[in-house]
Amino acid sequence: MITRVTTPLGAAILGAGMTLAAPASAQEPIHIGAIYILSGVGSTYGEFAQNGANLAIDEINEDGGVLGRPLEITFEDSQLEAQTAIQAMRKLVYQDGVDVLMGLDSSGVATGVVPVVPEVETPFIITHAATPDATGKLCNQWTYRNSVNIPQNVMGAAIMADESGANSWTTVGPDYAFGHQSWEYFQRYLGELNPDATFSDEPSFPAFGTEDFTPFINTVMSNQPDGVFISVWGSDLVNFTRQANDLGFFDEDFEVLMSLGAATEVLNALGEQMPTGVTVGTRYWYGAHDNEMNKAFVEAYRERHETPPSYNAQNAYSAVYAYKAAIEKAGEVDKAAIRDALKGMSYQAPMGEVRFREGDNQALVGPTYGVTADDPDSELRRLDPQRSFAAEDVTPPLSETGCNLGG
Q: What are the pLDDT digits (tens) for 230-252?
A: 999 999 999 999 999 999 999 99
- In angstroms, the CA 89 to CA 96 distance is 10
Q: What are the pLDDT digits (tens) for 204-223?
A: 999 988 999 999 999 999 99
Which phi and psi (to 5°) does residue 348 adopt?
-95, 135
CA-closest candidate to residue 101, choices 308, 358, 391, 319? 319
Question: Above 60 in pLDDT, residue 22?
Answer: no
Q: What is the dotted CATH code of the domain comprising 151-282+366-394?
A: 3.40.50.2300
Report CA-CA distances (Å) from 79 to 85, 87, 109, 133, 156.
8, 11, 9, 21, 30
- In angstroms, the CA 25 to CA 110 distance is 34
Q: What are the pLDDT digits (tens) for 326-355?
A: 999 999 999 999 999 999 999 999 999 999
What is the pLDDT confidence band of residue 25, given thresholds at 50, 70 and 90? low
Residue 272 CA, chain-centre distance (Å), reads 24
Query: Could you give the residue range(s) of every CATH 3.40.50.2300 domain in the chain?
Result: 4-148+289-364, 151-282+366-394
Q: Which fold has domain 4-148+289-364?
A: Rossmann fold (3.40.50)
Q: Calculate the average pLDDT of the chain.
A: 92
